[in-house]
Structure 1
Amino acid sequence: MPGSVKLRSIKKFGQENNAYDIADEGQNGDYMTMSTSKDTKNTKDKKEQPAIRVGFFQLFRFASCREIMMMITGSLCAVVHGSAQPLMLLVFGMLTDTFIEYDIELQMLEDPGKHCLNNTIQFRNLTEEENLELNMTRSCGILDIEYEMTNFAYYYVGIGAAVFILGYFQISLWVTAAAKQIQIIRMMYFRKVMRMEIGWFDCNSVGELNTRMSDDINKINDAIADQVGIFIQRFTTFVCGFLMGFVKGWKLTLVIIAVSPLIGVGAALMALFVAKLTGQELQAYAKAGAVADEVLSSIRTVAAFGGEMKEVDRYDKNLISAQRWGIRKGLIMGFFTGYMWFIIFLCYALAFWYGSSLVVDTQEYSPGTLLQVFFGVLIAALNLGQASPCLEAFASGRGAATIIFETIEREPEIDCLSEAGYKLDKVKGDIEFHNVTFHYPSRPEVKILDQLSLPVKSSETTAFVGPSGAGKSTAIQLFQRFYDPKEGMVPPCS
């Protein structure tokens, strides 16, 4: 027969004996050699591709109209919730000015030479005209401090009640919408895995699939659930804080905002590095989980060959890789977190130094205005820094979604649920291998069958005879259509 590699006999009972050529390499063999080759190939393929290939908004691709409305409503609640802190500062500034005015009035009236006349503080021993000449125009007796404090208390109660309601809807709507989407993702991922051809499972171990169904999908859930609402809330506080600062005191705000780009650059760089390192870390842990699952599922074989320590070492090597990526991510996050807080505290010092000169020297700002501007810009900067953990969750979710979504979108080469294709009207039972060449997807460099041609008639008993690794199981699996041949064909039974 053409294409002979190594001779192996296939005996056909019912007709005279014939010999056919089958390659000596099969799928079965040393389990350690096979798994190592597979891991090396998968590692090379993964290194050639970026760790994250999914945009943030692509995480919501499975959201229905109902979930979209829930997320929009939750976002609106987050926006109003985020504006509550700057609004509270407005009330706080007015409260401060009221206290200062009342305190100044009390201190001036404690002077025995002054008294309150016609709602104006005047000297006792001078006439009204003489007091006007001395510019004694400070009012008195008008401010009811108890009434004013009661109004401020009502303001704070109203803000607190609104924040309670808005915070509830903000978190509950986003979490509910995310739970429904995650349910769809889990269902679609498992269904697509069940439709994959056997060759796909040769290149993706069961342990890796289990890891992705548990850990990776949970990371996607973290990225599209309450973290989004919290990020919108903090970003709104950041925007509203700076807007209030510009309205109340643009000079001080400009001085503080001059250093704000340093915070933004730090947050952007941290998100970039964390996104890349998270993807690499997830791949390393998935690979380690695949090794553990492979060994545990074949523990009898491992024990029979005395390979326990070898498999422990192989698992440890994969954990070391994951540990390395995790340490790098921790170093990057620690550095940029410290960097951003360093810039924020520098903003404190700058704001107090310049703001005090505006109040004391030039008297452009009142003390309440200074506190409004300072704390407004300060809270804005703080919320921008506190939004960085949300960016980490988004990056982790994008990294985890890369393989999940690519698996969902992948069309299997042999679709067991497809209705397309030729359907036989009548089955007789004849089988024929016509110039079949084949290699397994996990080992494309090893040719298993080379130009195999073999007819098998119905009503006959055919036995494939040969040592382990001769390709006997491969021929049966091709007939069962676990795989498709790379060249040649196995025509349908007729």
Structure 2
Amino acid sequence: MGLLSGGGLCYNLAQFGELTTAFVDRTVNQHQLSTYLPLTTLFGGGRRLVNASHEENMAALEEDARATCIGCFVSIIISLVLCNGSIALLGWSAARQMIRIRMLFLEAVMRQDMTWFDLDTDFNLASKMSENLMKLKEGMGEKLGVIANLVGTSVLCICQSLSFGWELTLACITVIPFAVAASVILSNVSTRFRLRSVASPSPSRVRHRAVSLLTSYKYTSPMRASSEVQYKVKATRDLYPFL
């Protein structure tokens, strides 16, 4: 359903192309036979005229525009239904996967002490696991639906453009490898920087180190001041007997 939902955009593009053709035929080529418009004909437009008057061509153009609006509206409704259906099914599947993962997690916790994982006081395995499961559910429910829609749109648009003109389609397809290569390079660079950020000290540990240093500084400062005062007092005590 997610792949089929991408057909709405393909249909709208083809419908808009037929409307552009109708504009040219009804205004410039009024004395020639009008081009056959299969998609516009489905919704009450696409009259084929030859040697017709300007008024007849304008009336036919209004019919074509009305048919185009109806066709685009119908395609949008169908695409929305398919998108909602695919997202609902993916969400249902993701919910079942989450239940299964939670059951396996519960079985693992029952077998051993959960506090063994809580080595850091700021890290809670249960809350972290729940947060990761929610992210996984959102990714499976929405992200996969969007990916399926985009893949379906790309495949259907390429197939449709090949039927209209394969030369221009092949010329446009030649750009796809360069776009894929650029995306791969960008993803590799972003992954590398993300791994570096993960390998760096976590903010909690940095905060703990900073607090420790601040505590040590606050503790050693009075000690240093006390030693200086004791040194001065000792020097004064040595001076008084001499006087």
Q: Tell me if both proteins adopt one fold, taking TM over 0.5 as the criterion.
A: yes
1:310 corresponds to: 212
Superposition pairs of residues 450-469 of structure 1, within 5 angstroms: none
The equivalent of 1:484 in structure 2 is: none
* Cα shift at 1:226: 0.9
Q: 1:233 to 1:253 in 2, by over 3 A?
A: same
CA distance 1:278–1:180, change in 2 (3 Å): farther
Tell me how far apart the structure 1 counterparts of residues 214 and 132 of structure 2 sit (CA, whole Å): 24
The residue identity in structure 1 corresponding to 2:211 is: M
* Residue in structure 2 matched with residue 201 of structure 1 by the alignment: 116
Give the Å deviation of 1:184. 3.1
Are 2:50 and 1:139 aligned? yes
Match of 1:237 among 122, 133, 153: 153
Structure 1 position 153 matched with structure 2 position 77: no
Q: Per residue, is there more strand in 1 or in 2?
A: 1
After superposition, residues 222-233 of structure 1 pair within 5 angstroms as: 222-233=138-149
Q: Distance in 2 between matches of 1:288 and 1:210?
A: 20
Match of 2:84 in 1: 168
Q: How does 1:73-84 map to 2 (within 5 A)?
A: 77-84=1-8
Residues 269 and 308 of structure 1, relative CA distance in 2, 3 Å threshold: closer
Gaps of 5+ in 1: 1-76, 107-115, 121-137, 296-306, 314-494
The Cα shift of 1:219 comes to: 3.1
1:88 equivalent in alignment to 2:4? no
1:239 deviates by 1.6
The secondary structure found in structure 2 opposite 1:98 is: helix
| Whole-angstrom CA distance in 1 between matches of 2:181 and 2:62 | 47
Matched with 2:133 is: 217
Distance 1:284 1:219 in 2: 23
Q: Deviations over 1:28-80 (max 9, x none)?
A: xxxxxxxxxxxxxxxxxxxxxxxxxxxxxxxxxxxxxxxxxxxxxxxxx2111
Q: Please give the root-mean-square deviation of Cα atoms over the aligned residues, in Å.
A: 3.6
Contact 1:186 1:213 in 2 (8 A): no
| Contact preservation (8 Å) 1:83, 1:236 | yes
Q: How far apart are the structure 1 equivalents of 2:153 and 2:91?
A: 21
| In structure 1, C-alpha distance between the alignment counterparts of 2:154 and 2:138, rounded to whole Å | 23
2:26 pairs with 1:102: yes
Query: Using the alignment, how far apart are the partners of 1:312 and 1:174 within structure 2?
Result: 51
Q: What SS does structure 2 have at the residue aligned with 1:225?
A: helix
CA distance in 2 between counterparts of 1:208 and 1:279 reads 22
Residues 193 and 288 of structure 1: is their aligned pair in 2 closer, same or farther, counting only changes over 3 Å?
A: farther
SS of residue in 1 equivalent to 2:50 = coil
2:240 corresponds to: none
Contact 1:105-1:140 within 8 A present in 2 as well: no
CA distance in 2, matches of 1:173, 1:312: 54
Gaps of 5+ in 2: 34-48, 216-243
TM-score after normalising by structure 2:
0.64
Q: CA deviation at 1:269?
A: 3.1
Alpha-carbon shift at residue 279 of structure 1 (Å): 6.0
Specify which structure has the bigger relative contact order, considering alpha-carbon pairs within 8 angstroms and separated by 6 or more residues.
Answer: 1
Cα deviations by residue, 1:296-346 (Å, 9 ceiling, x for unpaired): xxxxxxxxxxx9821889xxxxxxxxxxxxxxxxxxxxxxxxxxxxxxxxx
What letter corresponds to residue 76 of structure 2 in structure 1? G
Map 1:429-448 onto structure 2 (within 5 A): none
Aligned residues with identical type, % of pairs: 18
User: Would you say how many aligned residue pairs link Structure 1 and Structure 2?
Assistant: 193
The question of whether the paired residues in 1 share the 8 Å contact of 2:118 and 2:124 is answered with no
Alpha carbons of structure 1 residues 202 and 226: separation in structure 2 relative to 1, 3 Å: closer
Q: Distance in 2 between matches of 1:187 and 1:312?
A: 45
Rate the CA distance shift 1:195–1:208 in 2: closer, same or farther, 3 A: same
Q: Which has the higher helix share?
A: 2
Distance 1:284 1:179 in 2: 34
With structure 1 as the length reference, what TM-score do the two structures score? 0.34
Q: Which residue of 2 aligns with 1:441?
A: none
Query: Which residue identity is paired with 1:140?
Result: N
Quote the Cα distance in structure 2 between the aligned partners of 1:262 and 1:160: 32
| 1:185 CA displacement | 2.1
Task: Give the conservation status (yes or no) of the 8 Å contact 2:10–2:153.
Answer: yes
Q: How far off its partner does 1:274 sit?
A: 4.2
Shift in alpha-carbon separation, 1:91–1:197, aligned structure 2, 3 A: same
Match of 2:185 among 259, 264, 269: 269
Per-residue deviation at 1:262?
0.8
